[in-house]
Amino acid sequence: IEFVQVLRMPGHKDKKWEESPPAHVKSLQTIQETKKSLPIYPFRKDLIQAIKDHQVLIIEGETGSGKTTQIPQYLYESGFADDGKIIGCTQPRRVAAMSVAARVAHEMAVKLGNEVGYAIRFEDCTSQRTRIKYMTDGTLHREFLSEPDLASYSVMIIDEAHERTLHTDILFGLVKDIARFRPNLKLLVSSATLDATKFSEFFDDAPIFRIPGRRFPVDIYYTKAPESDYIEACVVSIIQIHITQPSGDILVFLTGQEEIETCQEMLQERVRRLGSKLAEILILPVYANLPSDMQIKIFQPTPPGARKVVLATNIAETSLTIDNIVYVIDPGYAKQNNFNPRTGMESLIVVPISKASANQRAGRAGRVAPGKCFRLYTAWAYQHELEDNTVPEIQRINLGNAVLTLKALGIDDLMHFDFLDPPPPETLILAMEQLYALGALNHRGELTKLGRRMAEFPLDPMMAKMLLASEKYRCSEEVATIAAMLSVNGAIFYRPKDKIIHADAARKNFHAPGGDHLTLLNVYNQWAQSDFSTHWCYENFIQHRSMKRARDVREQLVGLMQRVEMELVSGITETVNIRKAITAGYFYHVARLSKGGCYKTAKHNQQVTIHPNSSLFQDLPRWLLYHELVLTTKEFMRQVTEIESKWLLEVAPHYYKPKEVEDSTNKKMPKVAGRSRPDGTN
Ligand code: ADP
Ligand code: MG
């Protein structure tokens, strides 16, 4: 690949850093030395003083300066947790919350879960002793339901504020409000980039504490021509760097686990072919569902003579800092959740990143030495095709969940909620309509009894409704299993490239008539019958780790179901009830068969396609519901189940009119012979 260098991103250095040791000796430093070498260290006293002087403080500092790992420790050492109160710190990403907590526990030489812990959805690794608690922003949002004044906290740090996730944005409004009547609660908003002024204005002109950064210059290279296959381009660039460039680790930004695995396999293959001509290369993936033993590996120092290649999602853009990165490869894409309020369709799509993101990524190359960033797009594309900034999540995703939680907190007038950037009114209205159709709100927009019970679950409103409806349909045990299986982050079915035929055959054995939800139930039940055996998973190409997680999630859901006094029932043999319960939650996600084996969404006539991994891929039922949409080459429906249109009138009479679900028969269409997996899908 031919690259052209276009510009050099200047470095900057505070005088204080002149004596800091060069990068290559870093691995020999003790923990104390490492802590002292972080840019934030010389400012710790001033910082603590500023926190004592002000109730709300905005902290700005370059990524990797030590904000996330050090500030809670400084606060702890300064006595902010002495009276049994907790120092809280939110993170937009689960992996970051876990990984940072583990790091801080290590730095403080305590066991994770004791003085330092973390809490993420479905996983609470804290105890009575916990004084520093990392958590996702979504988890804190839910904590407001049980503790509206956050009484157990002395300090709350809203960290990585620049990421502007939906939950972080809502937290801004909530914490600003409680700070008014809890003068002893300290509030810190910490951010990597230049939004500090905006945050300060929002928090009634709170002072900004800037941590001077240290960054070496980074040379930016662009491709001469656009690259059609960026994974291939990544692999080639990695090898090029490895052969032609001096030592230093490589960080590659990809959009998700599947891409990372593909890239990893291709790279391993290429390295194998080049054989002993190459110096050793260590390939390390980082993504949201990476098991924690693998997470530790990315932070281990590279052995002398070898080179580390980290294949990461956006998580390495600002949330996680991996030391000794000198080269960054940036294909310019990220995966994003997008919602179209007009069609009510929400889907995961791969989109071009913003200029701000591209520059963040490039900056990762200049932390320890002058670096290089290889952008796999042209300078023209950077100038003309990338937006300046990423649109905050609140302005582009479905707000159903957020609205439900806010309503449960007693915040009724959402149009006048104190938003940093308000969501588009039509998105708010649509969320209210959706909650009304689900029965969570009444016609005055007030929370119903059902809505209150739905809010008890840390689930999307549709899934919460499905669970609650299962009681009426006498299948709550089964639906709890389905909800748990759908909530597991990470795949259930294992599909290694060299055993695809075996894996697909194994998967087919689980196929249940009716569709994917019942297939998931089938997998879980058979696993339970095997006494939750690891060996059984191995034999059946099922990911044991995902199954264990499903079991955990299921246990917690059952606990919550008992808390809202649901009756736990099971044992129905007919699947109609289970499918009706699912429909009661997911009637928004219904599609009907139209000409030529295509599907159209029931209300808005948008074209959608069954995902090739679905058990119904060749069946083509007339009516079906889907769990989610994923846009790759087409809008693919993932996890689909066959339904009967007349159920829609039963479960959502205020949403569907008899005319809309008219259908002379509910019989299946004849099977289409020889449909095969189209390429480019996953
Ligand atoms: P900031 O929040 O300002 O971006 P961090 O506190 O995340 O900075 O990072 C400070 C330092 O801690 C970095 O040098 C980073 O490499 C190190 N660090 C963070 N997490 C880990 C970890 N899990 N293992 C080893 N080092 C880590
Ligand atoms: Mg941080």
Sign of CA dihedral 283, 284, 286, 291: positive
Distance 391 CA to ligand 1 centre (A): 26
DSSP for residue 660: G
Where residue 16 falls among pLDDT bands split at 50, 70, 90? very low
Ligand nearest to the CA of 65: 1
End-to-end CA distance of the chain: 27
If DSSP states are collapsed to H, E and C, what string results for 14-58? CHHHCCCCCHHHHHHCCHHHHHHHCCCHHHHHHHHHHHHHCCEEE
Interhelix angle 257-274/230-244, nearest 10 degrees: 40
Distance 488 CA to ligand 2 centre (A): 26
Nearest CA to ligand 1 atom 17: 321
d(CA 437, CA 652): 7
Greater confidence (228 vs 374) lies with 374
Q: Compute the average pLDDT of residues 306-322.
A: 92
Distance 64 CA to ligand 2 centre (A): 7
Q: Which long-range contacts (CB under 8 A, 24 or more apart) does 499-502 make?
A: 499/541, 502/541
Distance 66 CA to ligand 2 centre (A): 7
* Cβ 38 under 6 angstroms from ligand 1: yes
d(CA 682, CA 677): 9
Interhelix angle 425-437/400-408, nearest 10 degrees: 70
Distance 70 CA to ligand 2 centre (A): 9
Residue to mutate, 17, 60, 69, 132, ligand 1, most ligand atoms under 8 Å from C-beta: 69
Which residues lie across from 590 on neighbouring strands?
Answer: 625
Q: Using only C-alpha atoms, what is the Rg of the chain?
A: 26
Q: Summarize pLDDT for 642-667 with one digit per residue, the tens.
A: 999 999 999 998 899 998 888 654 44
- Whether residue 322 is predicted with pLDDT greater than 70 in this model: the reply is yes
- Whether residue 548 is predicted with pLDDT greater than 80 in this model: the reply is yes
Give this complex's ipTM: 0.98
Distance 72 CA to ligand 1 centre (A): 13
Amino acid 292: pLDDT: 75
DSSP for residue 393: G
Q: In sequence order, which residues have a C-beta less than 8 Å from that of residue 380 and are 6 or more positions away?
A: none
Q: Identify each DSSP E strand in 613-658 by its residue range.
A: 623-631, 635-642
Amino acid 526: pLDDT: 97
Q: Summarize pLDDT for 20-36 with one digit per residue, the tens.
A: 444 444 445 788 888 99
* Cβ 645 under 6 angstroms from ligand 1: no
d(CA 392, CA 135): 20
d(CA 251, CA 267): 14
C-alpha pair distances (Å), 424 with each of 409, 414, 431: 21, 12, 11
Q: Compute the average pLDDT of residues 262-284.
A: 90
Question: Please, are residues 171 and 202 in contact by the beta-carbon 8 Å criterion?
Answer: no
d(CA 324, CA 451): 50
Q: Which long-range contacts (CB under 8 A, 24 or more apart) does 471-475 make?
A: 471/566, 471/567, 471/569, 472/581, 473/577, 473/578, 473/580, 473/581, 473/584, 474/569, 474/572, 474/577, 475/569, 475/570, 475/572, 475/577, 475/578, 475/581
Nearest CA to ligand 1 atom 23: 103
Nearest CA to ligand 1 atom 25: 299
Atom of ligand 1 nearest to the CA of 159: 2
- Whether residue 673 is predicted with pLDDT greater than 50 in this model: the reply is no
Amino acid 663: pLDDT: 67
pTM for the full predicted model = 0.88
* Cβ 3 under 6 angstroms from ligand 1: no
Nearest CA to ligand 1 atom 15: 321
* Cβ 552 under 6 angstroms from ligand 1: no
Amino acid 468: pLDDT: 97
Ligand nearest to the CA of 292: 1
Amino acid 17: pLDDT: 39
Q: Summarize pLDDT for 375-414 with one digit per residue, the tens.
A: 999 999 999 999 999 999 999 888 999 999 999 999 988 8
Residue to mutate, 26, 290, 321, ligand 1, most ligand atoms under 8 Å from C-beta: 321
Where residue 351 falls among pLDDT bands split at 50, 70, 90? very high
- Whether residue 105 is predicted with pLDDT greater than 50 in this model: the reply is yes
Residue 297: strand, helix, or coil: helix
- Whether residue 558 is predicted with pLDDT greater than 70 in this model: the reply is yes
Atom of ligand 1 nearest to the CA of 367: 14
- Whether residue 680 is predicted with pLDDT greater than 80 in this model: the reply is no
Q: Compute the average pLDDT of residues 599-626.
A: 92
d(CA 92, CA 75): 21
Distance 395 CA to ligand 2 centre (A): 24
